[in-house]
């Protein structure tokens, strides 16, 4: 999409800037698929008329000592208020002319047009240039048979058994014992932690219940406590990574001091009908297994739908690589890059070139937003072509669901969302319905 020069002959605008239509000269240059430049010379008659109007307005309202209001000679007004008069004329003509030109050329700017190279020789001439971004033009086609790779996720008896074991662990009781801590146990521990080489405490907690083993909340710390008895202490050092600790501690060497207060063994409930009835409205263990299978199948179907959705979005991104106006991604990229810099500053993480790191972050977040914008525009056009709409009843039902999940009233949820939040919800529902339509029409192999 290189630069393409082009111009249009002078035309009579439909916008009135006086009592009659005015002739102006306009050159339109296509800088890219979505960026245009307008070079505009306002007609001399229009400039003179606006000059007279503004001068008359100043003449009517100007107050100069020695003269009655409305009686000040215009020559004196022109001299005394020259800069103000020219500023008002220039701004007024640029605004009215640009509005008229955009209407005539049926251009809908995305974001604010950038006015530059203003040259005024009042009261006869006004030249200015405008660069603006517009929505990309594209044609959506061949979307009814998008090729998708079939997703097969079987639900097995082993899956149900694994879920039952999770439920047993969640319902486990802990009983204090004499002896050393092992992977089958939990410990009650007082824990202090400081950044190595400093006195800065990052943890200072008493009587933490910490399970030991692969499902531990802090596996590296828990592993250090294996073999300790009640009343024993231990000091140790851990170098945390993004994967092995809180993000705030990533890349830091942490010195720990732990004192074990109790060692507890985990007592799992028996896997029988009595256990099933304690979990809810289940008549037996077999009934629980049936319900668990249904729940897992529902989650599986949701997962499969999301995978098909991801395939469709990948397809649309590749099929419609149109340029996207900066208004769709700039703010998102700036905000997230700034948040990333703030995280780096707080974490103390060493960065060789901060400016380069933030540029990479901006590029990353801009790329994310551009992809989402492309997909959104294509889905909106498909929805329009297929007459897919979101009824108010669907919006109300979704808000009601959100209210039930958050244990709040519908009114409270609506108030928190606000008008813009409800609009976003409606937009997301339309996106979901359109993706569901594309999945139903896809070729799945």
Q: How far apart are CA 222 and CA 267, in angstroms?
A: 19
- Under 8 Å CB-to-CB from 322, ≥6 apart: which residues? 33, 34, 136, 138, 374, 377
For the record, the structure tokens of 426 come out as: 């409606």
Q: 173-267 — its CATH code?
A: 3.10.50.40
CATH domain 285-444 topology: Trigger factor, domain 2 (1.10.3120)
Q: How far apart are CA 115 and CA 37, in angstroms?
A: 10
The pLDDT profile of the chain, 445 residues, written as one tens digit per residue, is 333 333 333 333 333 443 334 568 999 999 998 999 999 999 999 899 998 999 888 888 887 887 877 778 888 888 888 889 999 999 999 999 999 999 999 888 998 999 999 998 888 899 999 999 999 989 999 999 999 999 999 999 999 999 999 999 889 999 999 999 998 899 999 999 998 888 888 899 999 999 998 888 888 899 999 999 999 999 999 988 766 666 667 778 899 999 999 999 999 999 999 999 999 999 999 999 999 999 999 999 999 999 999 999 999 999 999 999 999 999 999 999 999 888 888 776 778 888 999 999 999 999 999 999 999 999 999 999 999 999 999 999 999 999 999 999 999 999 999 999 999 999 999 999 999 999 999 999 8
Query: Look-up: residue for tokens 């146990």?
Result: 185
Contact 100, 12 (CB under 8 A): no
pLDDT value for 244 = 64
Q: How far is CA 236 from CA 207, 239, 258, 259, 261, in A?
A: 19, 10, 8, 12, 17
Domain spans in the chain, listed from the N-terminal domain onward:
11-133, 173-267, 285-444
Q: How far apart are CA 211 and CA 185, in angstroms?
A: 6
Gyration radius of the chain over CA positions: 34
What CATH class has 11-133? alpha beta
Strands 125-133 and 185-195, bridge-based pairing = unpaired
CA dihedral sign of residues 246, 248, 252, 257: negative
CA proximity to 375, closest of 433, 438, 431 = 431
Rounded to the nearest angstrom, the gap between the alpha carbon of residue 262 and the centroid of all alpha carbons in its chain is 46
């Amino acid at each position: 999409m290189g630069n393409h020069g082009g111009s249009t002959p002078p035309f009579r605008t439909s916008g009135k800037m006086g009592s009659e239509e005015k002739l102006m000269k306009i050159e339109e240059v296509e800088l890219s698929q979505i960026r245009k430049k307008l070079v505009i010379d306002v007609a001399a008659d229009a400039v003179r008329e606006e000059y007279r109007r503004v001068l008359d307005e100043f003449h009517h309202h100007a107050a100069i000592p020695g003269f009655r209001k409305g009686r000040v000679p215009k020559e004196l007004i022109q001299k005394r208020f020259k800069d103000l008069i020219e500023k008002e004329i220039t701004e007024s003509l640029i605004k009215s002319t640009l509005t008229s030109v955009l209407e005539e050329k049926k251009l809908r700017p995305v974001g604010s047009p950038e006015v530059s190279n203003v040259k005024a020789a009042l009261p006869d001439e006004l030249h200015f240039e405008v660069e603006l971004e517009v929505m990309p033009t594209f044609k959506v086609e061949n979307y009814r048979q998008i090729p998708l790779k079939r997703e097969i996720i079987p639900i097995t008896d082993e899956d149900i058994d694994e879920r039952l074991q999770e439920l047993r662990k969640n319902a486990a009781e802990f009983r204090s014992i004499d002896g050393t801590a092992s992977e089958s146990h939990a410990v009650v521990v007082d824990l202090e932690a400081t950044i190595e080489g400093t006195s800065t405490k990052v943890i200072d907690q008493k009587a933490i219940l910490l399970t030991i083993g692969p499902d531990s909340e802090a596996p590296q710390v828990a592993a250090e406590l294996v073999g300790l008895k009640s009343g024993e202490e231990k000091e140790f050092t851990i170098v945390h990574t993004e994967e092995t600790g809180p993000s705030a501690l990533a890349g830091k060497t942490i010195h720990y001091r732990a004192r074990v207060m109790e060692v507890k063994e985990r007592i799992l409930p028996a896997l029988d009908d009595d256990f099933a009835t304690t979990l809810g409205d289940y008549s037996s263990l077999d009934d629980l297994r049936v319900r668990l299978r249904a729940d897992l199948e529902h989650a599986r179907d949701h997962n499969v739908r999301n995978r098909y959705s991801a395939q469709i979005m990948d397809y649309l991104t590749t099929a419609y690589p149109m340029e996207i106006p900066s208004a769709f991604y700039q703010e998102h990229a700036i905000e997230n890059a700034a948040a990333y810099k703030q995280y780096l500053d707080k974490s103390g993480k060493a960065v060789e070139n901060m400016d380069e790191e933030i540029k990479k972050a901006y590029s990353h977040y801009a790329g994310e937003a551009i992809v989402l914008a492309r997909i959104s525009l294509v889905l909106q056009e498909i929805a329009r072509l297929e007459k897919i709409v979101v009824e108010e009843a669907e919006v109300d039902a979704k808000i009601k669901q959100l209210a039930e999940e958050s244990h709040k009233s519908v009114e409270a949820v609506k108030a928190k969302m606000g008008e813009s939040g409800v609009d976003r919800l409606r937009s997301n529902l339309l996106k979901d319905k359109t993706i569901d339509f594309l999945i139903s029409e896809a070729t799945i192999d």
